[in-house]
Amino acid sequence: MPDADLDAVARRLAAASAAVHRCARRLEATAAATPWQGDAADAFRAALADDVARVRGCAGSLEDAAAAVHAHAATVAERREALRALRDAALAGTGSVLDDLAGLAGSGVAELVGRAVR
Amino acid sequence: MTADDVTGGVTGLEVELDALRAAAVALADVAAELVAVAAECGRGCLDDELADSALLDPVGAARAAASVAAALAGPRGLGAVAVEVEVHAARLALAVARYVVVERATATATALRREVQGHLLVAGAPALLGAGALWWAAADAAGADPVEELSEAVAAHPGLVDELVGSLPSALRTTAALVLGPLGLAVDGAVRARTGQTVLPRSLEQAAGAAGLLYAAGQPAVVRAGSLPADAPADVGDLIAGLTVADELVRAGGPSALVVATSVVRGRDGEPRTSHVVHLPGTHHWQVDPRDRAALDDLATNLELMAGEQSARVDSVRFALRAAGVDDGEPVMLVGHSQGGMVAVRAAAALGDEFRVTHVVTAGSPVSRMPLADGVSVLSLENRQDVVPRLDGGPNAPLADHVTVLFDAPAPTLAGEHELHAAYLPAAERLADSAHPALLAWDDGAQAFLLDDAERRAGTTATVTARVYRVTNADPP
């Protein structure tokens, strides 16, 4: 599972990309709905087509950013999980040693006490 | 037919300016949304999450942060693109505003020029008249017909008519001031109090109203005078052809006439639909003498229509529609040549309280200064060489509801260039071949009155009753 907070960031970026795509479609509709003819109209439509291409480029960049954040979230989650496992393992190992030590100590103490009693 | 020949309608300048304003607003809205998205992402995505997580995945965090920064704040990022779109929106809005300002400045300059021209015309009148008399005598001596020569000269330079007509109010005002002298204002005040008209006109309407003071208002007498054979019109050519028939009735003699053609169209399985087309011929009685006004298709009606006053000829259309039994919900189209077109435009506005006039077709009519009724779609045909449609001193505004078709139909005389059958009918018939969007849209809107070949082939039939009404002045002076 990717990191929840980072994944939320990735989802926000993906939603922003969708919103920007919608903006591009609105720009295209605006160009198509203008019943204007002539050289100036052609220049206007060409400028608007450039805008649409740039806006779509932004949407693509946001998608890339969302993918990068998502990958980062997955890596972070993976590494956090590994660290957690390491800690758990370490904690589990430390516990048995202490138990052994305690057992050892317990048995030694009993032996010492027994010897002393005998 | 090129795009330059058609103004107004769905591709008219008014519609284009409105569309451009709407486009500017749409672009500004998109730019604002892009800015909002960029700001939202900046707040939500460049926060501590990436910084905190960098401890665990420094390379991945750096890559993600770089991607987000490039998408939002880079030279091709969302913020920069939003600004570009905003700039385009502002440029577009500015272009529209600049056009409107230039238009107004041009109109003001034209008005000023015509004002000065009017004064100069009066000042130079003796010299102009003298030169005119000399030219007339010279043409006469050379064996040429001066009237024909003058007709040819005006036909070759029809723009002169615009200027002369536009300068007329100023010239009349100057003349009145010279003739009346210091008493002018007092006389003008007395005439205004009595008639509502001014003898010191500042507009073409006021000038026409002042000239119309000479004539008594008429009272229409509308009498049924039989029927004509008729078929349902398929296009504008057929509408003008119907008008030529009405025109011939008047040319053949007798008083003014108008024809109400009622079509009842039945599809194979649909409800019958009824529509009415009123054909209004032009001026046929040029009596200048105010003591003799038996007809209503006369000079006095032209002055009334131009001045925007109550007109007996407009009233005659109302009476004819009543006599033809037109219901208030049935669509009515008014088709007129010359004065008939002026009557049509004025009647469309005046009859709205009783009839549903939806369409007007004018041929060679000076209607640019007349206000159009709401919801009425007007198609004007104008021969560029014809001086009559120029008698309003300017071109028709390119309004959404007013399509104007300009065409060339030169003829040897001024009358020939204004002639309905020779000049306007062929142009109207050519419109059927036009693919201009404004004309196609006008045709679509007028389908209630038209029955095209495809409908006929589909089995739709029409019964047409063309009633002829003769119109006279029931109250001659």
B354-377 pLDDT per residue, tens = 999 999 999 999 999 999 999 999
Dump pLDDT digits (tens) for B121-169. 888 888 989 998 998 888 888 888 887 787 777 777 777 888 888 888 8
For A53-75, what is the mean pLDDT?
92
Q: Which of residues 36-55 of B touch A (CB under 8 A)?
A: 37, 40-41, 44-45, 47, 49-50, 53
B92 to A44: CB separation less than 8 angstroms, yes or no? yes
Q: How confident is the model at residue B279 (pLDDT cuts 50, 70, 90)?
A: very high
Q: How confident is the model at residue A95 (pLDDT cuts 50, 70, 90)?
A: low
Residue B220 in tokens: 């229409």
pLDDT at B172 over 80: yes
Q: How confident is the model at residue B322 (pLDDT cuts 50, 70, 90)?
A: very high
Measured between CB atoms, which of B15, B37, B76 is closest to A54? Answer: B76
Dump pLDDT digits (tens) for B400-459. 899 999 999 888 888 888 999 999 999 999 999 888 888 999 999 999 999 888 888 888
Query: Does B68 reach chain A within 8 Å, measured CB to CB?
Result: yes
Size of interface A-B (CB pairs under 8 A): 135
Query: Does B216 reach chain A within 8 Å, measured CB to CB?
Result: no
- pLDDT value at residue A96: 64
Query: Does B268 reach chain A within 8 Å, measured CB to CB?
Result: no
pLDDT at A90 over 80: yes
What lies within 8 Å, CB to CB, of B312 at 6+ separation is: B217, B218, B219, B220, B296, B301, B304, B473
Chain A residue with the nearest C-alpha to that of B3? A37
Sign of CA dihedral B150, B153, B158, B159: negative
Q: What is the pTM of this model?
A: 0.72
Q: In what order do the strands lie in the sheet with B356-363?
A: B6-7, B402-407, B377-383, B356-363, B331-337, B273-280, B256-266, B461-473, B220-228
Query: Does B430 reach chain A within 8 Å, measured CB to CB?
Result: no
Query: Does B23 reach chain A within 8 Å, measured CB to CB?
Result: yes
Whole-number mean pLDDT of chain B?
87
- pLDDT value at residue B464: 92
Q: What percent of chain B has pLDDT over 90?
A: 36
Distance, in angstroms, between A88 CA and closest chain B CA? 18
A51 to B81: CB separation less than 8 angstroms, yes or no? yes
A27 to B30: CB separation less than 8 angstroms, yes or no? yes
A27 to B27: CB separation less than 8 angstroms, yes or no? yes
Query: Does B441 reach chain A within 8 Å, measured CB to CB?
Result: no
Listed range (B27-36, B73-82, B260-269, B300-309) with the worst mean pLDDT: B260-269
Query: Does B71 reach chain A within 8 Å, measured CB to CB?
Result: yes
For A38-65, what is the mean pLDDT?
88
B77 to A61: CB separation less than 8 angstroms, yes or no? yes
A34 to B19: CB separation less than 8 angstroms, yes or no? yes
- pLDDT value at residue B3: 40
Query: Does B67 reach chain A within 8 Å, measured CB to CB?
Result: yes
B37 to A9: CB separation less than 8 angstroms, yes or no? no
pLDDT at B1 over 80: no
Contacts of B63 in chain A (CB under 8 A): 68, 72
A51 to B84: CB separation less than 8 angstroms, yes or no? yes
Measured between CB atoms, which of B44, B77, B88 is closest to A51? Answer: B88
Q: What is the ipTM of this complex?
A: 0.73
Q: How confident is the model at residue A113 (pLDDT cuts 50, 70, 90)?
A: very low
B20 to A72: CB separation less than 8 angstroms, yes or no? no
Whole-angstrom distance, CA of residue B359 vs CA of residue B152: 35
Chain A residue with the nearest C-alpha to that of B18? A34
A30 to B78: CB separation less than 8 angstroms, yes or no? no
Measured between CB atoms, which of A9, A34, A79 is closest to B23? Answer: A34
For A22-47, what is the mean pLDDT?
82
Measured between CB atoms, which of A27, A61, A79 is closest to B71? Answer: A61
Dump pLDDT digits (tens) for B91-100. 888 888 888 8
Contacts of A9 in chain B (CB under 8 A): 44-45, 47, 49-50
Say which residue, B270 or B358, is predicted with more confidence.
B358
pLDDT at B8 over 50: yes
Q: How confident is the model at residue A33 (pLDDT cuts 50, 70, 90)?
A: confident
Query: Does B437 reach chain A within 8 Å, measured CB to CB?
Result: yes
Q: How confident is the model at residue B272 (pLDDT cuts 50, 70, 90)?
A: confident
